[in-house]
């Protein structure tokens, strides 16, 4: 039987989000507890398994604090600023053992859910990626765990936990964050309208006007380019874990419209923190 606290969280968050946060944290903890050690390098990153786990523990704690209404400054909101803040925070946090870090990751994901209970879902909070409400913050927490959970699974040669249902729950944060991670150097002077459709449901539109991106869940009228993409591929590509060229070669993404050549350029317009 579900607890009263669990029912309260489900009254605040979209259906499935609380469960996805909890189970993703537990999936990551299981990966860590089964690891032979935490000193192995993580493919594509400069961090070890232990450093990624420590970063997750810190990030989950920070988001729980933000959800409780306590503001924490972490970088300047830009991808570079957040990356620099991550490095400083990691250097000041010495724990690298799998068991303790697994416990913190799970406990702080639960702390976020506890903080959501009894608070307004619509209240604007200041996060490392700018202002957002508690629902989008939960989507941010989930997205962050999925990205680094994928990293840990690759490093430990274990199956990852990214799936279509969890990507759908990550989409609100992705839509909110995209204008903030636009790469001004690659979008300078760009005028283009994109419709992005995820297989099985989920969509958003991106309109560039003189290089400035406006992103929303509604699709633009008369898009220049429509992109159809497999959901897991979308999230991994958006987080810089998947090559657009490789995804297209495997038939995981297609582009068409009046200007289909704009499709392959789309991922380069954004920089993940």
pLDDT tens by residue, 203-248:
999 999 999 999 999 999 999 999 999 999 999 999 999 988 889 8
| Predicted confidence (pLDDT) at residue 33 exceeds the cutoff of 70 | yes
Task: Give the separation between CA 129 and CA 107, rounded to whole angstroms.
Answer: 23
CATH class of 4-178: mainly alpha
pLDDT tens digits, one per residue of 133-172: 999 999 999 999 999 999 999 999 999 999 999 999 999 9
d(CA 48, CA 38): 7
- Nearest CA-CA partner of 56 in 6, 10, 108: 108
Smallest Cα–Cα separation from 115: which of 133, 130, 93, 91? 133
Q: State the architecture of 182-269 in CATH terms.
A: 2-Layer Sandwich (3.30)
Domain chopping of the chain, boundaries: 4-178, 182-269
Distance CA 159, CA 11 (A): 32
Residues 128 and 141: their CA atoms lie apart, in Å, by 11
Q: How many secondary structure helices (H) and strands (E) does the chain include?
A: 10, 7
Nearest to 226 by CA among 173, 191, 190, 262: 262
- Give the whole-angstrom CA distance, residue 81 versus residue 87: 10
170-181: per-residue pLDDT in tens?
Answer: 999 999 999 999
- Contact 174/266 with Cβ under 8 angstroms? no
Contact 63, 141 (CB under 8 A): yes
Beta bridge partners of 194: 206, 225
In contact, 253 and 244? CB cutoff 8 Å: yes
What are 43-84's pLDDT values in tens digits? Answer: 999 999 999 999 999 999 999 999 999 887 888 878 888 989
């Amino acid at each position: 039987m579900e607890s009263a606290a669990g029912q309260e969280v489900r009254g605040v968050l979209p259906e499935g989000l609380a469960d996805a946060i909890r189970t993703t944290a537990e999936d990551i903890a299981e990966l860590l507890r089964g690891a032979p050690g935490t000193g192995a390098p993580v493919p594509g990153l400069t961090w070890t398994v232990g450093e990624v786990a420590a970063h997750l523990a810190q990030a989950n704690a920070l988001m729980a604090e933000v959800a409780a209404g306590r503001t924490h400054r972490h970088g300047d909101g830009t991808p570079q600023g957040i990356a620099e803040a991550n490095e400083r925070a990691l250097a000041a946090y010495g724990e690298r053992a799998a068991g303790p870090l697994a416990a913190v990751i799970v406990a702080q994901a639960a702390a976020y859910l506890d903080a959501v209970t009894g608070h307004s879902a619509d209240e604007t909070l200041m996060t490392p990626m700018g202002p957002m409400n508690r629902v989008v913050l939960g989507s941010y927490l989930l997205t962050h765990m999925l990205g680094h959970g994928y990293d840990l699974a690759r490093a430990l040669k274990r199956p990852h936990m990214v799936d279509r249902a969890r990507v759908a729950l990550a989409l609100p944060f992705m839509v909110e964050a995209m204008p903030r991670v636009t790469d001004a150097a690659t979008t300078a002077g760009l005028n283009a309208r994109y419709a992005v459709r995820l297989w099985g449901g989920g969509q958003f539109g991106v309109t560039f006007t003189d290089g400035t991106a406006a992103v929303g869940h509604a699709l633009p009228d008369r898009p220049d380019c429509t992109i159809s993409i497999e959901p897991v591929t979308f999230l991994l590509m958006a987080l810089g874990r998947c090559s657009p060229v490789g995804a297209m070669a495997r038939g995981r993404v297609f582009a068409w419209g009046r200007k289909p050549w704009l499709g392959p350029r789309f991922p380069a317009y954004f920089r993940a923190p």
